[in-house]
Structure 1
């Protein structure tokens, strides 16, 4: 079943354009749907879909022509589709499920990590060691969480993979998660994945010193229907933040520091050399 994330974003943007063309405010639209203005904001930002009755009311309110309405109605139906159930769904917290859905739909994923290898590059053994080290994960959920990460990685070798650009601190290469043998295989995985045409791997070496992302992990997600607009995902221990408004200065700050980080990190070629050096030193 198709991921409803993309049609939600498409419909939300179309509804915002219709509202603005009609000269209406979100408060006025909220009155039509008998809901809050914050819900209209969530609809326009692609966070939630609309029911069939809500869609019809909006089309009437905006006086949308029949031919345009037909195309939008197809998108609206797609937003109401349910994602297929997985064996690991309940083990993933609600605040992370949205990220999984967004990542699955993204055409480009850019990640910076300071201490750990990015999840999309992790071996199963490495993932298990990281997961088991967190006391907040129930023992019964460990296997499901490991499978969930493996499922996310599968898209990298699919027929239509996203562009992946991963930057990690040298610390992520040297922290012995799971022990020497696990790290040897993990470093091999990084080197193998870095050779894929749609994957770029860079390392921020210790010799580069401090940078704007020191102590901060984050992910930028870009979508084919939103050229130049990134969703910023920042995770902490028990929750996460999503910055997805084009004019949000906080979102723009992450984009700016990413640009500086790419310049200060080693080139992909030099990064691969460092990965191999760490492997030999283990």
Structure 2
């Protein structure tokens, strides 16, 4: 089943389950806090179904998480092949290492921050942005599952000094994440000077059997690395990034200091 067929199947099942329970579009919308026109748009495919909608549908139609599960599967199937490989590695990882020179790593982004970043690409439609936001939030579920991976995130101080209103919420979220025993947050201070991480983003996932998979992004595309030589390069770059970052306690102190100085434009 192609990914468009999968989304069409979900829409058909939404209509069918709603009709079986004798619930009109108007009544469903009122109970789900959506307009009848929004319900109609979702069921006809002119509006993409997202995870909040699927969650409300499961609650109102008492379908036991069916639509959330179907949507997650459809979203995974719609991802490019190379990215599926990274998603599989990320989900199975016992340890994740993430670094970005200018942004908060995706696993630690709030919904509003992720949406603002994804909107920076001018060719993306609003529907595509919302789909990508939903996918990013779903990936973050690994942080709160049973037996989560150890997550080590390195963030440049410059990524925190963004004069945007969304940053106040993002600061609070980072502080909450830093309290989790399986999340280690390290900041690279602004006075660190030149370092290898300025060459670009990198992510690493380590599986239970000790194997590594790497992911790197650039302006054109993303790609996944799994060969021995490529992983050795990734690990050397990671050590260079981690080596200029502050320890956890000093990182937390710097984060709080930057938060206290934040004043959105």
Q: Structure 1-normalised TM-score?
A: 0.64
Q: CA–CA distance in 2 between the matches of 1:159 and 1:241?
A: 29
The Cα shift of 1:90 comes to 6.5
The Cα shift of 1:255 comes to 0.5
Partner of 2:189: 205
DSSP 3-state at the match of 2:121 = coil
2:219 is matched with which residue: 226, 237, 243? 237
Partner of 1:186: 170
Paired residues, what number? Answer: 193
**Structure 2 matches for 1:59-78, cutoff 5 A?**
none
The Cα shift of 1:198 comes to 0.5
Check the 8 A contact 2:86/2:213 in 1, yes or no. no
Partner of 1:156: 143
Q: CA–CA distance in 2 between the matches of 1:100 and 1:163?
A: 16
Check the 8 A contact 2:200/2:217 in 1, yes or no. no
Q: CA–CA distance in 1 between the matches of 2:182 and 2:151?
A: 6
Q: CA–CA distance in 2 between the matches of 1:166 and 1:149?
A: 16
Cα distance change on mapping 1:231 and 1:245 into 2, 3 Å: same
Partner of 1:78: none
Mapped pair 1:141 → 2:128: yes
**Structure 2 matches for 1:29-68, cutoff 5 A?**
none
Check the 8 A contact 1:95/1:239 in 2, yes or no. no
Partner of 2:105: 118
Partner of 1:222: 206
Q: CA–CA distance in 2 between the matches of 1:137 and 1:121?
A: 22
TM-superposition CA deviations, 1:164-202 (whole Å, max 9, x none):
0000111111124xx22x101101111110111001010
Mapped pair 1:196 → 2:180: yes
Q: Structure 2-normalised TM-score?
A: 0.68
2:239 is matched with which residue: 253, 259, 264? 259
Check the 8 A contact 1:92/1:145 in 2, yes or no. no
State which drifts further: 270-279 or 97-106.
Answer: 97-106
Compute the RMSD of aligned alpha carbons.
1.9
DSSP 3-state at the match of 1:213 = helix
TM-superposition CA deviations, 1:54-73 (whole Å, max 9, x none):
xxxxxxxxxxxxxxxxxxxx
The Cα shift of 1:84 comes to 6.3
Q: CA–CA distance in 2 between the matches of 1:260 and 1:215?
A: 11
